[in-house]
Amino acid sequence: MAPTRVVVLVSGGGTNLQSLLDAEATGALSPATVVGVISNRPGVRALERAAAAGVPARVVDHREHADRSSFDAALRREVEAFGAHLVVLAGFMRVLTATFLAGLEDRVVNIHPSLLPAFPGVRAQSQALQHGVKVTGCTVHFVDAGLDTGAIIAQAAVPVLDEDTEESLQARVLVEEHRLLPAAVADLAAGRLRREGRRVYRQP
């Protein structure tokens, strides 16, 4: 089976990118391979992680574009230049529009730190604590034009402890993100998942 070429979009520290790179190094990401990293912000730690792994990286600075559509068009050109089969949003803090997503149905995925559809958007752990839930977690999902509204691929649950702060809860959820995202990418690359409408099934 030919490797699935993965391009990872980042905005910050890149710990989820690192989880993908680590999984590839051990063979756990197979048949996927990370061929490129693109950040919308220069100088972030994620770019250093890419360089350390020998993965080509680019910056498409959203501040250099007049509007979201022109940024997404530039981002799409860079993704296509890498020959991506799958695009993974790993801490990418921009909402993608139809300009980017057109023709990429079921080829763009995101990791979000809640059990969607609960707590979409930013500061999901803060939302969980404010609502008093006893369980939260993380979700890998397909990306559509909405805000964390795409079909759910995989989820992992994390208990919310009485003494939790936003930071402590975030740290425990992140552990599960680092496990869940590489596993989901490997499953997608290997064709082990099948989507019917908004439901995603594991192939028999």
Active site residues: 112
Q: How many C-beta neighbours within 10 Å does residue 146 have?
A: 9
Separation between Cα atoms, residue 112 and residue 158, nearest integer Å = 13
In 3-state terms, what secondary structure has residue 173? helix
CB proximity list for 163: less than 8 A, separation 6 or greater = none
For 63, counting Cβ atoms within 10 Å of its Cβ (0-12 exposed, 13-18 middle, 19+ buried), the class is: exposed
Please enumerate in sequence order all residues whose Cβ is within 8 A of that of 57, keeping only pairs 6 or more positions apart, or say none: 36, 37, 38, 39, 47, 50, 51
